[in-house]
Amino acid sequence: MIPGSTSGISFSRILSRQTSHQDATQHTDAQQAEIQQAAEDSSPGAEVQKFVQSTDEMSAALAQFRNRRDYEKKSSNLSNSFERVLEDEALPKAKQILKLISVHGGALE
Protein backbone atom coordinates (compact mmCIF):
# COMPACT_ATOMS: atom_id res chain seq x y z
CA MET A 1 0.00 0.00 0.00
CA ILE A 2 1.02 3.53 -0.62
CA PRO A 3 1.35 5.54 2.58
CA GLY A 4 -0.03 8.70 0.94
CA SER A 5 -3.25 6.98 -0.07
CA THR A 6 -4.08 5.97 3.52
CA SER A 7 -3.64 9.49 4.79
CA GLY A 8 -5.87 10.72 1.95
CA ILE A 9 -8.62 8.34 3.05
CA SER A 10 -8.29 9.24 6.72
CA PHE A 11 -8.22 12.96 5.85
CA SER A 12 -11.42 12.60 3.85
CA ARG A 13 -12.99 10.68 6.76
CA ILE A 14 -11.98 13.40 9.20
CA LEU A 15 -13.31 16.05 6.87
CA SER A 16 -16.62 14.23 6.39
CA ARG A 17 -16.94 13.72 10.16
CA GLN A 18 -16.33 17.42 10.76
CA THR A 19 -18.92 18.46 8.21
CA SER A 20 -21.45 15.96 9.57
CA HIS A 21 -20.74 17.23 13.11
CA GLN A 22 -21.21 20.84 11.94
CA ASP A 23 -24.45 19.89 10.19
CA ALA A 24 -25.71 18.15 13.33
CA THR A 25 -24.75 21.16 15.46
CA GLN A 26 -26.51 23.54 13.09
CA HIS A 27 -29.57 21.29 13.04
CA THR A 28 -29.61 21.13 16.85
CA ASP A 29 -29.18 24.90 17.09
CA ALA A 30 -32.05 25.39 14.65
CA GLN A 31 -34.26 23.03 16.67
CA GLN A 32 -33.38 24.84 19.91
CA ALA A 33 -34.17 28.19 18.31
CA GLU A 34 -37.54 26.87 17.14
CA ILE A 35 -38.31 25.49 20.60
CA GLN A 36 -37.31 28.78 22.22
CA GLN A 37 -39.42 30.76 19.72
CA ALA A 38 -42.39 28.48 20.37
CA ALA A 39 -41.94 28.91 24.13
CA GLU A 40 -41.79 32.68 23.76
CA ASP A 41 -44.85 32.66 21.52
CA SER A 42 -46.86 30.61 23.99
CA SER A 43 -46.01 32.73 27.02
CA PRO A 44 -48.93 34.67 28.53
CA GLY A 45 -47.28 37.99 27.74
CA ALA A 46 -46.86 37.04 24.08
CA GLU A 47 -50.47 35.90 23.89
CA VAL A 48 -51.68 39.20 25.36
CA GLN A 49 -49.48 41.14 22.95
CA LYS A 50 -50.86 39.18 19.97
CA PHE A 51 -54.41 39.78 21.18
CA VAL A 52 -53.86 43.52 21.60
CA GLN A 53 -52.18 43.78 18.21
CA SER A 54 -54.97 41.90 16.45
CA THR A 55 -57.66 44.02 18.13
CA ASP A 56 -55.80 47.17 17.07
CA GLU A 57 -55.67 45.94 13.48
CA MET A 58 -59.36 45.03 13.51
CA SER A 59 -60.39 48.38 14.97
CA ALA A 60 -58.33 50.19 12.33
CA ALA A 61 -60.03 48.18 9.58
CA LEU A 62 -63.48 48.85 11.02
CA ALA A 63 -62.70 52.55 11.32
CA GLN A 64 -61.83 52.63 7.62
CA PHE A 65 -65.17 51.01 6.76
CA ARG A 66 -67.04 53.41 9.06
CA ASN A 67 -65.27 56.45 7.60
CA ARG A 68 -66.09 55.25 4.10
CA ARG A 69 -69.76 54.82 5.02
CA ASP A 70 -69.86 58.27 6.66
CA TYR A 71 -68.30 59.79 3.55
CA GLU A 72 -70.89 58.08 1.34
CA LYS A 73 -73.70 59.36 3.56
CA LYS A 74 -72.29 62.86 3.52
CA SER A 75 -71.89 62.89 -0.25
CA SER A 76 -75.44 61.61 -0.75
CA ASN A 77 -76.78 64.28 1.64
CA LEU A 78 -74.91 66.97 -0.26
CA SER A 79 -76.32 65.82 -3.57
CA ASN A 80 -79.83 65.83 -2.08
CA SER A 81 -79.43 69.37 -0.79
CA PHE A 82 -78.13 70.56 -4.17
CA GLU A 83 -81.08 68.90 -5.88
CA ARG A 84 -83.44 70.65 -3.48
CA VAL A 85 -81.87 74.01 -4.27
CA LEU A 86 -82.07 73.36 -7.99
CA GLU A 87 -85.67 72.16 -7.80
CA ASP A 88 -86.90 75.36 -6.11
CA GLU A 89 -87.37 78.37 -8.28
CA ALA A 90 -84.34 80.51 -7.61
CA LEU A 91 -85.38 83.62 -9.56
CA PRO A 92 -88.31 84.67 -7.29
CA LYS A 93 -86.13 84.12 -4.21
CA ALA A 94 -83.33 86.22 -5.67
CA LYS A 95 -85.82 88.99 -6.45
CA GLN A 96 -87.08 88.91 -2.86
CA ILE A 97 -83.52 89.20 -1.54
CA LEU A 98 -82.79 92.15 -3.84
CA LYS A 99 -86.06 93.81 -2.76
CA LEU A 100 -85.11 93.44 0.92
CA ILE A 101 -81.70 94.94 0.25
CA SER A 102 -83.21 97.92 -1.54
CA VAL A 103 -85.74 98.48 1.29
CA HIS A 104 -82.96 98.62 3.89
CA GLY A 105 -80.97 101.04 1.81
CA GLY A 106 -78.38 98.56 0.59
CA ALA A 107 -76.90 98.05 4.07
CA LEU A 108 -76.64 94.47 5.24
CA GLU A 109 -76.05 93.74 8.88
Judge if 17 and 52 occupy the same domain: no
Residue 87 scores a pLDDT above 70:
no
pLDDT digits (tens, 9 = 90+) for 16-50: 777 877 777 787 887 877 777 776 677 888 888 88
Judge if 26 and 78 occupy the same domain: no
Judge if 55 and 96 occupy the same domain: yes
Q: Is 31 helix (H, G, I), strand (E, B) or coil?
A: helix
Based on the structure, what is the number of domains in the chain?
2
**Beta-carbon contacts of residue 101 (< 8 Å; ≥ 6 apart):** 108
What are phi and psi for residue 93, nearest 5 degrees?
Answer: -70, -40
In terms of pLDDT, which residue wins out, 80 or 58?
Answer: 58
Domain ranges, residue 29: 1-42
Distance of CA 55 to the CA centre of its chain: 12
Asked if 38 and 44 count as a contact pair (C-beta separation under 8 A), the reply is no
